[in-house]
Structure 1
């Protein structure tokens, strides 16, 4: 078997359904399997997988064992030569794994491959590619020096700014939302370190792979939506675990002075407080206009009844061209993409092309009665039932 996709889930049932739908579409011509590990969700995630995706291998843990152990459990059951660690709040294109697999097979010293991640508004997520957070690099991040000197190699290592978002190349650290590597290598480094509950586990795995002399790559030729923040509410527990995770990484890999350790602790608390503030729910603006991109005019009536406003319609079966949307773009617009007629790749392209245009996006996954999306990388996404 070529590829095993491991998805660790915790209480994000609707995002998981969208994710698995997209992964199924992307694996149709690849000898592969999907493994979903559920960390004792209290929603009906497991029941949904059993009923809708009977071919998916479901592993149900009786407690939340954390990100590292949960993924290690999934990988231990994987049969693929390659594995992909994938977050449940992601959407992949139909050709994502085909492209990444082809790229990986060409490398002579393959470590981990990461891809271009975008948020629910279509904006690039800079954590798609990062440098090793040495004390100095972490200092430039916490103090935002990397923003002041974006072209200086001395200051811009945290987000690997030697590469643009549209440039493939070697990087040091990749994000756990999408990590593609050989299972043999994963096992060789011991997988994710289970002493770290979450948050620095992807940094640690990337670093351990580098220590084995392997090359990690950022691959820009496919984009993946990562809604972010769906599996974690940024509360006091989040802040505590974030701080513990950073301390874990430094204690494991760096010898640092007491003075710098104290400074980093202050910085980590400050940084995690900012994350917590960013994660607070905000008053969401109600769209002024709606545009349904679909091949089903009957769906217009359903959405009109739901939003109580006029819903414009773009017949994707007749038009089917991303650029044709441009005439409809205006501030306060919500674009609703019907996955029955709009492919996942087209959904992702539309997100990217019309980012920062004052619009927001929703996807109606194929065979479902809900729409899903996120208007900010810091807020939890929205789920709206259509019936």
Structure 2
């Protein structure tokens, strides 16, 4: 089967050595997160002289890079994260992939990489899911998809690379925070920063995550699940967690989240803000100080806090720790709005409820549509 858009096609060349069905089923029974990978990748090559070419869905195998490849020396790379969900009728659907495609374009421009046409991005993801549909697990697990572009030109001068490669790999995935249903505790970092105005904070690139690893290590040293970053200028304003956006529920019915600019425009974040009115909440994007967070949790004006992300879905945050001390959110347990929003979102993604907004995108398997009427 071939998928095409704006001249970029992804014909499927099946691997001659697929994973045996019994072994695949055993892996799907307990995939963990990010440890198991499917049989194929979608891929395309770009060069300054030819544009995008040599695209297709092929056997997953190790990459061959020259030791001087630009990605290895100057971190010129970007990536995305989205999921494919098994539907009640056995079909498979993506969740708002056009938003990931648009963000991928934004990240490419910020990192001086060639943007892949957005329709081709969605086609590549769908083509890989069709090829490896047997790897899409049953709920509550899903198939995590990682599109990425790396600069492959071999050179040691500092300039945008003139060769790059786009790939999508797939990984059956269970919960990111397995065993943490009682909620997460975040370490508030008042020294190490994730991003600064004018930087790459709103692009999804590996450098942002590498820069956050030291802060995550500090968080773990304080027995916390993740880090909460503050702004780089004043170390006062909430930004995002190491891998997630952060949202707060207030006693007067607002769903508050820090504004965009230096943080990632999360697809789950955006979706939750759009779902908020259905849950009696008014979505608000504004600056939130760490002092407001602390005092609001103490006096009850902030009743719930949670994090959002493709991998994290909606994860309750029940406590914060910092050099200045620890404080709980509400009763120190996941809040009702958090749990209701999570259920609502997952029901949409897994096709258990109608989808009037058109967020589910069937990948074109030989099965009925995922929409419920």
Q: TM (normalized to structure 1)?
A: 0.28
More helix as a share of residues: 1
More strand as a share of residues: 2
